[in-house]
Chain A
Amino acid sequence: MGHNLKAIYRNMLKNKLYTFFNVAGMAVAFACSILLFLSVYQDFSFDKFHVNGDKIYKVYSFSNAANGPELSEVMAYPAGPALKADNIGITKFTRVRYGGGKIRYKAKELELTTVLVDPDFLRMFSFRILQGNRVNPLADLGKVVLSANDAASLFGSEDPVGKTVETEISGTWKSLEVSAVIENPPVNSSIQFGALARTETHGHYPAIKDEWNNQHHPVYVQLAENTTQESTENRLRSFVKTHMPPNIGLMKARGYRADAKGDFSGLKLLPLADVHFNPEIGTGDRVNRSFLYILVLTGVVVLVIACFNFINLSIGLSFTRTREMGVRKCLGAGKANIWTLVWGEGFVTTLVAMVIGVAAAVLLIPSFNQLFVAKLETSLLYDPVIGLLLPGILLFVSLFAGSYPALAMTKLKVVEVLKGKIALKTNGLFRNTLVAFQFIIACVLISTTMVIYRQFRHLRSAPLGYTTTSMISIPVYDQSKGKELIRTMRLQLASQPAIVSVSGSSFNLGIGKDRNTGKWSSNFGYKGKVVRTNWMEADYDFLKTLTIKQVEGRDFSSAYASDSVNAVIVTESMAKQLTDGHAVGMEFFADSAQAKLHIVGVIPDFHLYSMFEDKEPISIMLKHEESMAYILVKVNTTNPAATMELVKKTYAKLEPGKEFKGSFVTENIERWYAKEKRLSRLFSIAAGVAIVLSCMGLFGISLIVVRQRLKEIGVRKVLGASVSRIAAMISKDFLKPVLLAIVISVPLSWLILNKWLQDFSYRITIGWWMFVYMGMAALLIALATVSFQAIKAALANPVKSLKTE
C-alpha cells in the first residue's frame, strides 16, 4: 500500500500538468454538483424532522370548477376545533395564522413573525422546547413562546421565562408572559416563526370565531394512529355536509361539476411531506419536484463530463506508463496489483479533487444562495446523509473514471509492451466518442440557456395590454384605510411634474415585494346565459394610470357622482358576452346581493395575470368601500430612482413606521417568471462549466496527441509541409468529434426545448439561427483550445523532435 501510494504520488508529480487538469476539472465538477446536491437534499429534507410527520396533514378545500379544481388552504376559525371534536380520526389540530411582526421588552423592540396557533401545535410538530414549560406552554391565552434566537436578542443574558413582553397581534399591542423558549425552526421547516401565541388572541377572533364563511388561515391536523388519509378524507365528506354545505344549485349554475364521488366541493388532506412541493396549497417557498430532478441531472452530467476528461487523459497518457506496467508484470505483479495501482491513481486524484471541491463549495455557498435565492447552510455538510453521499460519490466517480484505464492496463500484453513505448489501443474512436459526448452535452446546454433566456425575456416583455413601465405599485399596510391613503397621496403628489396619476387596485400587478397575488372570478346568469368574468376592484384614474385606451366610454372619474356606487369598466370579450352592440350604458347584476352594475367604459382585452394564462374577460369595478390593497402611481420621468424616493417619502407620511414595499410594475412582472429566470441562470452556469470542462479535456488530449505525433510532425516539416498546413492537419482531427457533436445536438436540443416550450401558451419559436450561434460558439471555443497546441507543435524545430527517441 505504502509502495503504491509512493508510486502514485511520484507519477502524479511527474505529469504535473495532467494532474492539474484532472484535479482542477474534477474539483470544479465536484464543487458544482455538491452545491446542486446539497440544495436538492435540503429541499427533500423539508419537514422531515417532525417525529409525527407521517400522521400530520394540512387540510385544504377543493371545488371542481368548469376549468379544473380550485384548491385553497384557507379555513374558517371554527373549522380547526370542529375537525378534532367531530371524531373523524383527527386527534390533534392547530390553526396557523399570521399574528404580527413586532415584539417589545422594556425599551427593546424587535421585528419577528408572531404566528398564532393552538396548544396542539407543539404536540404535533417536533420543535424542541429548550426552556420553561415543556408540557403545555400555550395552555392559556396570556402566554407566548419565543424562538431561541429572538429570545436571545430580546433578553440578552436575562432569563426570558416568566417575563412579560409586549407583542403586536393584529395591529394592537398585547402583554403576554413568556412561558417557554423553543429551538429556532430549521431552514428546512415550511412553518417559520419567531414567536408563538394563541389563535384566540387575534383581534377579530371573538367576532368571527363561529363564522364558517370567513376564511383566512391554514389548519394542520394529526390523524389517530390507526387511521389512514383515505378513511379520514371519506369522513370529511359528511363533515363538510354538516358544517359547510355547498350551495350546489349556485355551483351548478356557475359551471361547477361533480367529481367521481359526486362532490362539487369538499375538504381533503395534504400530507405534510408534500407541503414543500405543492405550488397551490403548500407553505413557504415551495419548489417543484421536477426542478429538483433537473438539478440532480445537471450535477450528474457535470460529473460525467469530468470523468470523461479523466478517462481520456489517462488513456492518452498511458503510453508513458505501459512499459512500467510491463516491467511490473514481468517482476510478478498480478492483475490485481496493476489494477490497484492505476485505479489508485484515479482514486487519489478524485480524493484530492473532492477535498478541493468541498472547500470550494463551502466558499461558494453565499454566492449560490444569492444567485438562486437559496438558503444553504454549511452545517448541511455534517448531515449524516451527506456524510455518506460524499464518500459514495467519491467511490462512484473513482470507479467510473478509473476503472476503464485500470482495466485496459491490466489487459496489456507484457511481451509487446516491453518492446517499446506503446499506447493503449484506442484507435481514436473511443476517445472521440467521449469528446463528442461531452460536446453534445455542452451544446445542448448552450442552446437550452439561449432558449430559456429568450423565453424569459419574451415573457417579461410580453405586451400585456397596458403600459407596465413607469408605474409603481405600493402594497398598503392598513388596507381598511386604502382609499383614504390613495386620496391623500393623489393630493400630495398632484403638484409633482414627475407624477402622472394615482390610482388603486384590489390586487397587485405582477408579484410585489409583499409577494401576494390575487384572482377573483365568477359566473353569473344574464338573460338566460352564463357569463363568466374575472373581477378586479380599482380606484379613479385606473385607465389613465395603466395607460389603457378605452374603445368606448370613459375612465372612472370623481366628476361623476354615480361612479362611486355602481360603475364598471369591462373588456371587449366581457362586453361581447353581454351584447353584440354598444355595451356602455348597459346594466347587469353580477350577484343578487350586489347593486346593479353600470358599464361606463369598454377597453381592449388585456393580461391581468401572467402570460401563463390566456386573456380572459375582465370586469373592473370602482370600489365603493373604503378599503384598498394597492396604490398605483404612474410616473413620467427620466430618473426613476429619484421618483421612487419621492413616492416613498410621501408614503412614509401616510403610514408612518411601516416598511415601504413599493416597486416598479416591471419588476413585479419579472417576479412572475422567477422560475424561468432561475432556470436560465442555472443553465447558463451549467453550460459554462460544461464548456470549460470539455475544453480542459480537449486541451489535455491535444497536448498528449501532439507529444505522440511530434516525430511525425518533424518528418512532415522536413519534407516541406508548411506550419499552417500542419496546424490545420492536427486541429482538424480534434474538430471532427466536435462537429459531430454539434450535428447530433441540434435535433436533440430542438426536441427537448420544443417540448419544454409547449408548456407556455405564449412562447418563442426556436429559430435555426440559434443553432448556428450554438454551433459557432462550440466550434470556435474548441478551435481556440486545440489550435494553441497545434500551432506550437507546427512551429517546433523538427531537428529537436527527430532527435529525441
Chain B
Amino acid sequence: MINITNLQKFYRTEEVETIALNNLSFGIKEGEFVAIMGPSGCGKSTLLNILGLLDDPDDGSYLFNGIEVAKFNERKRSDLRKHNIGFVFQSFNLIDELTVFENVELPLIYTKVGAAERKRRVEEVLDKMQIMHRRNHFPQQLSGGQQQRVAVARAVVNNPKLILADEPTGNLDSSNGNDVMQLLTDLNEQGTTIIMVTHSEHDARYTHRIIRMLDGQAVTENILV
C-alpha cells in the first residue's frame, strides 16, 4: 500500500539546516499495523506528516496504492487525503467550539456526504466507540480518554484505508491508553492499515512490526507477528 524510497526532508532555518529524513525507504502492506519508534527529534512526526500527505518530501519517491504522490500539489493531496487517510493526534486536536457529534461529522462534510447519511454514519461510529451518550457535549467536558475516543471516531468515520496516529496514548493514563490501543487493534482487524508513532514499548506490542528510527533513518525493523 505504501512504498517510500530514498525519502528526504530538510528544514532550513536562518542558520542551520536540519536533515529530518535522510534517505528513508520502506514499504507497508495493506492491513498492516506498524509502530514507528525512536528518540525525540529523529523525524517520526515529519515522516508521518509526509505519509499523511500533510507535507511534501524534498526528494525521493512515495507510492500510495501504486500512485506517485511525492510531487502532488496541495489540492490533489487534500483530495486523496480526505477520502483515504484518518489522523489521530497525541493532543487529540478536537475543535473546542464543536460538539462531539459535530467534530466527528466534520470529515463527512468535507467529503460532501449528505446530511441524513452523515447522521447515520456518525451515530454508528459513536456507538461503536461507546460515546454516543456524550454526543452533545463539548470536548472540554470530556476526560482525556473520552476525547481520544472521539478523535479516533473522527478518524474512522470516513472509512479510511489508512490511519496515522502520532503518539495517540501520549497524553493518556495507562488504562485509557490501553482502551485506545484496543480500539486501534479492532480497527486493524477489520482491515484498516494503521501506522502509529509511539514511545511506549508496551503500546508497540499491539502492532505487527516496529520500525525504529535514528536521525532520520530507519535503523532496525522488528517483526512481531
Contacts and interface: CB of A to CB of B under 8 A. Distances in A.
Does B associate with A? Answer: yes
A317 to B, nearest CB: 13
Interface stretch (B23-31, B103-111, B184-192): B103-111
Contacts of B154: 331
Interface residues of A, number: 21
Contact of B93 (A11, A337, A418): A418
Contacts of B107: 331-332
A332 B97 contact: no
A331 B110 contact: yes
Given A329-B78, A333-B110, A7 B93 contact: no
Given A3-B102, A415-B54, A330 B97 contact: no
A253 B110 CA distance: 88
Contacts of A331: 82, 87, 106-107, 110, 154
Contacts of A10: 97-98
Contact of A332 (B78, B89, B95, B96): B78
A331 B98 CA distance: 14
B49 interface: yes
Interface string B81-100: 11100010100011111100
A334 B78 contact: yes
A323 B97 CA distance: 12
B54 A332 contact: no
Contacts of B55: 414-415
B12 interface: no
B133 interface: no
A332 B111 contact: yes
Nearest to A12: B97
A307 B122 CA distance: 40
Contacts of A324: 95-97
Contacts of A777: none
A6 interface: yes
Contacts of B82: 331-332
The residue among B55, B98, B102, B105 with the most chain A CB atoms within 10 A of its own CB is B98
A327 interface: yes
A23 B102 CA distance: 27
A14 interface: yes
A418 B89 CA distance: 9
A326 B78 CA distance: 12
A321 to B, nearest CB: 9
A328 interface: yes
A384 to B, nearest CB: 38
B155 to A, nearest CB: 9
B219 to A, nearest CB: 24
B75 interface: yes
Nearest to A333: B110
B108 to A, nearest CB: 9
Nearest to A14: B97
B78 A327 contact: no
A414 B54 contact: yes
A333 B110 CA distance: 6
Given A323-B93, A324-B95, A324-B97, A334 B102 contact: no
Contacts of A333: 110
Contacts, number: 56
A341 to B, nearest CB: 11
Contacts of A334: 75, 78, 110
Contacts of B102: 3, 6
A418 B54 CA distance: 10
Contacts of B54: 330, 414-415, 418
Contacts of B97: 7, 10-11, 14, 324
A324 B109 CA distance: 16
B7 to A, nearest CB: 15
B23 to A, nearest CB: 21
A6 to B, nearest CB: 7
B102 to A, nearest CB: 7
B78 A328 contact: no
Contacts of A415: 49, 54-55
A14 B97 CA distance: 8
A10 B82 CA distance: 25
Contacts of A326: 93
B43 to A, nearest CB: 13
A3 B81 CA distance: 21
A328 B93 CA distance: 10
A7 B106 CA distance: 11
A330 B109 CA distance: 13
A647 B66 CA distance: 105
Contacts of B78: 329, 332, 334
A11 B97 CA distance: 7
B110 A332 contact: yes
Nearest to A3: B109
Contact of A327 (B49, B52, B93, B111): B93
Nearest to A11: B97
Interface string A315-347: 000000001101111111110010000000000
B183 to A, nearest CB: 19
Interface in A284-340: 323-324, 326-334, 337
A340 to B, nearest CB: 12
B75 A327 contact: no
Nearest to B98: A7
Interface string A562-587: 00000000000000000000000000
Interface string A655-672: 000000000000000000
A332 B81 contact: yes
A445 to B, nearest CB: 39
Nearest to A6: B102
Interface string B6-34: 00000000000000000000000000000
Contacts of A414: 54-55
A744 to B, nearest CB: 32
Instruction: Please indicate which of the listed interface residues A14, A324, A326, A331 has the most CB atoms of chain B within 10 Å of its own CB.
Output: A331
B95 A327 contact: yes
A6 B83 CA distance: 24
A328 B82 CA distance: 10
A326 B93 CA distance: 9
A137 B98 CA distance: 71
A415 B74 CA distance: 13
B75 A328 contact: no
A623 B201 CA distance: 117
A328 B95 contact: yes
A318 to B, nearest CB: 15
A236 B83 CA distance: 82
A324 B54 CA distance: 15
A-B CB proximity, top 10 nearest: A332-B82, A332-B110, A10-B97, A331-B107, A327-B93, A415-B55, A415-B49, A414-B54, A324-B95, A331-B106
5 contacts: A10-B98, A14-B97, A331-B82, A332-B82, A334-B78
Given A3-B109, A332-B107, 5 more contacts: A10-B97, A10-B98, A331-B82, A414-B54, A415-B49
